[in-house]
A = this chain, B = another copy of it.
Amino acid sequence: MSVTLADVAARAGVSAATVSRVLNGNYPVAGSTRSRVLRAVDELEYVVNGPASALAAASSDLVGVLVNDIADPFFGIMASAVQSEIGPGPDGAGHKMAIVCNTGGLPERELTYLTLLQRQRAAGVVLTGGAVEDPGHAEALGARLRRLEAAGAQVVLCGRPPLPEPGPLTVTFDNRGGARRLTEHLLSLGHRRLGYLAGPAGRTTTRHRLEGHREALSAAGLAGDAERLTVQGAYDRAAGYDGALELLRRDPGLTAILAANDTVALGVCAALRDRGLRIPEDVSVTGFDDLPFAVDATPALTTVRLPLHDAAARAGRLVLGRETPPPGGVTTFPTELMARQSTAAPGR
């Protein structure tokens, strides 16, 4: 049915081994032979059988990218950056392919996909997004990752904290520091009653951001109310909407609300508007991540920029072994406060 290496070899009048060598370019072949083979490939429209060569060579050109939700630009940007590093270059050469796996944030799904990737004999795996902090899952995950590495796959964590040594290569963000500076910004504007909408419980990202916030609060002697003015919720708009209303119920005199991320912040803004509260005159609002839409919110959202693209691109290079990791294997990217119009001195 399909045309094979042998067909090409026959047509070019050489052995299959030679064709293989030409195609892989990893062995000296005479120029004339080479062009004869290439012509045959062309004429026959030959396309390598990936599974066959993966089997024979015990290696594939697939790289897994695990994300919570590919429809969320936060993950889309990272997936895109990984792809741009590993995919076909401008010259069409050097092509690994990314298998994007949507875990939906479910631990079991994460494990399932890791097994599936091992089954594909993936050359590497990039795990993006915050990790679930359940100890049982952490252990199961660690075991899967070790197996993958034992099978020869390069594992890179991107946007989550490093695992205990000797863990996989890691590229992470200073979420804690970003959150701290964000809260300090609000405090320096004069806010004293700050509501905090945390992300889902049991996730490292949630915890680190919350810790940064509390650090700043404590330093200002404002730790007392922190617990009461913190509401947990999902990383989505609805959580922001509902959460903002709940915070207002707990303290109608709130002058600022910090959201777990930009998407949540959009929900907060909507709730505030529906309540007839002005931003930032009545209540200041902040996001986190600095996704592209943050600057287009009205008013433009004060937030913390994560270098998502750069970090994921680096993860892509690391997973291919195209960049040497720092000693310890952990790279932490700084985060940057983006002060815009959704925050101002309290007016009420």
Residues of A within 8 A of B (CB): 2, 45, 47-52, 54-55, 60, 62, 69-73, 75-77, 79-80, 83-84, 87-88, 92, 95, 97-102, 108-109, 112-113, 115-116, 118-121, 147, 151, 237, 266, 269-270, 292-293, 296-298
Contact = CB atoms under 8 A, between A and B. Distances in A.
A88 B70 contact: no
A76 B79 CA distance: 10
Contact of A100 (B50, B100, B108, B118): B100
Given A51-B121, A55-B55, A298-B298, A84 B108 contact: no
Given A50-B51, A62-B99, A83-B101, 11 more contacts: A47-B118, A47-B151, A50-B54, A51-B55, A51-B121, A70-B80, A70-B83, A88-B109, A95-B112, A98-B100, A298-B298
A119 B96 CA distance: 12
Of A70, A95, A293, most B-chain CB atoms within 10 Å: A70
Contacts of A266: 293, 296
A258 to B, nearest CB: 18
A259 to B, nearest CB: 13
B92 A108 contact: yes
30 contacts: A47-B118, A47-B119, A50-B54, A50-B120, A51-B51, A51-B55, A51-B121, A55-B55, A62-B120, A70-B80, A70-B83, A70-B100, A71-B73, A72-B73, A72-B76, A73-B73, A73-B76, A83-B100, A83-B102, A88-B109, A88-B113, A92-B112, A97-B120, A98-B99, A98-B100, A98-B101, A237-B292, A266-B296, A270-B296, A293-B293
Contacts of A72: 73, 76
Contacts of A120: 50-51, 62, 97
Q: Which 5 A-B pairs have the closest CB atoms?
A: A51-B54, A298-B298, A71-B80, A100-B100, A71-B76
B88 A97 contact: no
A296 B73 CA distance: 16
Interface centre among A45, A115, A119 (most CB of B within 10 A): A119
Contact of A97 (B2, B51, B75, B116): B116
B80 A121 contact: no
Contacts of A80: 69-71, 102
A19 B21 CA distance: 35
Of A73, A109, A113, most buried by chain B (CB within 10 Å of CB) is A73
Nearest to A45: B147
A47 B121 CA distance: 10
A151 B1 CA distance: 8
A279 B45 CA distance: 56
